[in-house]
Amino acid sequence: MQALYAQLLVGLINGSFYALLSLGLAVIFGMLNIINFAHGALYMMGAFVAYFLLNLGGINYWWALIIAPVVVGVFGMILERTMLQWLAGLDHLYGLLLTFGIALIVQGVFQNYFGSSGLPYSIPDQLKGGVNLGFMFLPIYRGWVVIFSLVVCLATWFLIEKTQLGAYLRAATENPTLVRAFGINVPRMITLTYGLGVGLAALAGVLSAPINQVRPLMGADLIIVVFAVVVIGGMGSIMGSIITGFALGVIEGLTKYFYPEASNTVVFVLMVVVLLVKPTGLTGRAA
């Protein structure tokens, strides 16, 4: 049973990353009508920023949790201002191609300097060790990742669904022209939205650095799984992304325990099943 709980925990952690990443993809897609293929590369950048902060500046994990998303968010906003904004009005596929190109550039540059092997990033002192819950041993850092991610996801949901700013954002998603007519600076909101989505990816990167090591290609395969998550859950609902993300992580964890051979394909297989049963995805919006 110990092993089952351990795999469930790993599943929850992966689920946290799926949730944070698919959430960002959904928010960005809502405003920019772009599927951000660079999301995995920016997640990796988040982890690398944390690594640089620690090893070059001696700045610890807690600061990295704040600084890395800001740095990567600003980088993302620069990308949006200099490139993505020119794609408004074009076919969706150009956004996919452009961000795929950006992902290749970012990953290629990092691979060139850091190879393909992982760089270690140690768990901060405050989160070292673990607690015995009676039925399993819980490493504190892993518990922290799950709970912190959940809090961030819910905070993002609250920001978008329950605040004034979120209301503008949702309105601009539906009808940008009308919202502009009310005197709201929609282009700036688009830039900030991209920064927010990308910042969430960078945050996930910092969280994963002590668990998965810091590697240039850490986001490359992950983003494809997240795409499958997005296809299953649809991008229409924020809460849908969060729940689907965590749920798929848990299912993946269970698969690792019961049938490890299928653990890296289970999310894709589930996507196929969902598409066969309900071609529009779980949230049911046609797109």
Partner 1 sequence: MSALTDDTLPMTPRAMRDEMIVFAVMATLLAAVPFTGIYPFFVMQALCFALLACAFNLLIGYGGLLSFGHAMFLGTAGYVSAHALKVWGLPPELGIVVGVAAAALLGLVTGYISIKRQGIYFSMITLALSQLLYFLYLQAPFTHGEDGIQGIPQGHLFGIFDLSKPLVLYYVVLVGFLAGFLLIYRTINSPFGEVLKSIRENEPRAISLGYKTDQYKMLAYVLSGTLAGFAGSLKVFVAQNASLTDVHWSMSGEIVLMTLVGGLGTIFGPVVGAFVIIAMQQYLAGFGQWVTVIQGVIFVSCVLLFRRGLVGELAHLLRRSL
Applying CB under 8 A, which residues contact partner 1?
A: 29, 35, 83, 86-87, 89-94, 96-98, 100-109, 111-112, 220-221, 224-225, 227-228, 230-231, 261, 264-265, 268-269, 271-272, 275-276, 279-281, 286-287
CA 275 – CA 33 distance, rounded (Å): 22
**Cβ of residue 29: shortest distance to partner 1, in angstroms?**
8
Cα 207 to chain centroid distance, Å, stands at: 11
CB of 70 to partner 1, least distance (A): 24
Distances (CA, A) of 85 to 45, 94, 106, 263: 22, 12, 19, 38
Say how many C-beta atoms besides its own lie within 10 A of residue 213's C-beta: 15
As measured in angstroms, the least distance from the Cβ of 103 to partner 1 is 7
Six-digit token string for 69: 């998303």
**Cβ 79 to partner 1 shortest distance, Å:** 10
Q: How far is the CB of 110 from partner 1 (least distance, A)?
A: 9
Encode 219-248: b = buried (16+ Cβ within 10 Å), e = exposed.
bbebbebbbbbbbbbbbbbbebbbbbbbbb
C-beta closer to partner 1: residue 93 or 154: 93
Residues 48, 58 contacting (CB under 8 angstroms): no
Contacts of 177 (CB under 8 A, 6+ apart): none
Which residue lies nearer to partner 1 by CB, 212 or 283? 283
Nearest CB to partner 1, comparing residues 115 and 129: 115
Task: Give 51 or 227: the residue with its C-beta nearer to partner 1.
Answer: 227
Looking at beta carbons only, is 126 or 280 nearer to partner 1? 280
